[in-house]
Structure 1
């Protein structure tokens, strides 16, 4: 199962880093991470239990995801979400009829809106508010670390370096998803949003306050990362061998095995073998789509070429 986002050149031109973290969105990501590893709910405060019905396997409702920097404004957007948006969320998340209280919520029940608002506020105040400064620091650190990659190898290279489960090839951005979905952005592009609160697969969402505002959420690079000096081409060749160094240089942009073989001037079987060796040490990732295998550099591979940092 995968989410496929078809990107035009206009979309690629509009890929940008978000200005800063959205505290309520971070709170929901934190809860999604918490929900996955919590064996029992009966010992948890009753105040937050409604969130277990809303955030399921990292598939939270859109109305809980405002991309706003002010937490109070974000909470207000959650409490005042349009009924149509909540209904759409319920239909998307529940294959069967949702619990009665969620149906009442979708019908605009003020009491249930208050229940949800209180749960989100309670969770935010205890989990996100105490670490907001750190969240901001890590967010900006990730952007500072990835900006050279975008500058040196472009948006495509950046997208292919963000996460092992995220690939861009032939105009399509692909990531794991519980359902098979294909979507178009119609030139809107999307925001890149590093997060400290989620360590799983890349997540795709759109803002509750602006349905045309899409975002890709991914685990942020650690503050402990450091700059690595770029090796010379001769040093790289000594490290991995001349042919594999050529393979790495060729994979600054994603290539199929056949394209890689042609670019480097080796047989297809040889190209596949070299890519396999580089993949085993974390410098290259390979993604199979039917009979076709596409190879690209990982963030570590880009760093070794001097296009990124680890």
Structure 2
């Protein structure tokens, strides 16, 4: 049992995030990949993901060894809007921070695998680990990331509504059956992990929902100035999970609905290509053609257009993003 002790300052600094980003969720997915529970929610995904693994991914087993704590790469990498941002965070981490994680790992497992021990001093070893994690991410998580992110964003919105209606007390009381709020202490049932008494000392707590983690998990560094992280399982039913694993709107179906060029323009705008000239160059059509197609998309309510000092910027509407099966937010992090 973990016990997190709050002061009034800590309660004022409770925040809610949808996710730490794709790298963190990819690392959390290793727990679901190894486990056997949750067949209705993760079974189909688990079988497909396992089929793509080979000896190149053995290092992932070292990151998450059976029994005991993992090498906390998610904590070292921190929040990131995309995989690359978290990777850069990890590459910039000090030798001391990485060694501290490995010392904790060794205390619980007796030894540190050579592939992880080299992470302290070798940038090449860090890049190799990141390469393996990213390759796994691209195969197992990235195809579903837009829907996972949308699900976590909806979870954050739900938590925000609870906090508005019931305050922080209601928020902390309804996170998960394994989390119990008895002011001023939050009790987290942690399975076989070593129990801990955590004092936030006015730094607050960031609550982060997770798609893949099915038990609450605490990340806490008493030396950090930003407080702790509590990852809690986002509400996830079998039907919701099934909708995540299905593919999104196919490009051919979208082209059939909108026309090939308009579908490509809408997709490019959702990807962040907002200027008429850039769109024309990307799609190899004239600027006049882009203007005609964006006018149709705008009239259909799929994009909005802003004009400022002679420049034109197009942005997708929530309806346009929904049509593309994209989350209605560019970044759902802290």
> Shorter-chain-normalised TM-score: which range?
0.5 to 0.7
Alignment match of 1:97 (pick from 111, 126, 132): 111
- Which residue in 2 is equivalent to 1:46? 55
Matches within 5 A, 1:131-170: 131-170=144-183
How far 1:131 sits from its partner (Å)?
Answer: 1.4
- Secondary structure of 1:162 counterpart: coil
- Which residue in 2 is equivalent to 1:75? 87
Partners of 2:153 and 2:209 in 1: CA distance: 9
Question: Structure 1 pair 121/142, CA: closer, same or farther in 2 (3 Å)?
Answer: same
**1:192 aligned to 2:207?**
yes
Question: Structure 1 pair 54/75, CA: closer, same or farther in 2 (3 Å)?
Answer: same
- Which residue in 1 is equivalent to 2:4? 5
Matches within 5 A, 1:161-310: 161-177=174-190, 178-199=193-214, 201-205=215-219, 212-222=226-236
**1:127 aligned to 2:140?**
yes
Alignment match of 2:64 (pick from 51, 55, 60): 55
CA deviation profile, 1:212-246 (whole Å, cap 9, x unmatched):
25221112124879xxxxxxxxxxxxxxxxxxxxx
Partners of 1:180 and 1:88 in 2: CA distance: 19
Alpha carbons 2:207, 2:230 under 8 Å: kept: yes
Alignment match of 1:110 (pick from 110, 113, 123): 123
Partners of 1:167 and 1:30 in 2: CA distance: 25
How far 1:14 sits from its partner (Å)?
Answer: 0.9
Alpha carbons 2:52, 2:139 under 8 Å: kept: no
Over the aligned positions, Cα root-mean-square deviation in angstroms equals: 2.8
Question: Structure 1 pair 218/185, CA: closer, same or farther in 2 (3 Å)?
Answer: same
Structure 1: gaps spanning 5 or more residues: 226-310
How far 1:36 sits from its partner (Å)?
Answer: 3.2
The number of aligned residues is: 219
Partners of 2:51 and 2:98 in 1: CA distance: 26
Q: Normalising to structure 1: TM-score of the pair?
A: 0.63
Partners of 2:170 and 2:164 in 1: CA distance: 10
CA deviation profile, 1:145-194 (whole Å, cap 9, x unmatched):
22232122221221121111101213111112300211111211122211
- Which residue in 1 is equivalent to 2:244? none
- Which residue in 2 is equivalent to 1:35? 34
- Which residue in 2 is equivalent to 1:285? none
CA deviation profile, 1:96-126 (whole Å, cap 9, x unmatched):
23223322223x1233223211111112211
Q: Normalising to structure 2: TM-score of the pair?
A: 0.59
**1:23 aligned to 2:36?**
no
Partners of 1:19 and 1:51 in 2: CA distance: 25
Partners of 1:36 and 1:197 in 2: CA distance: 11
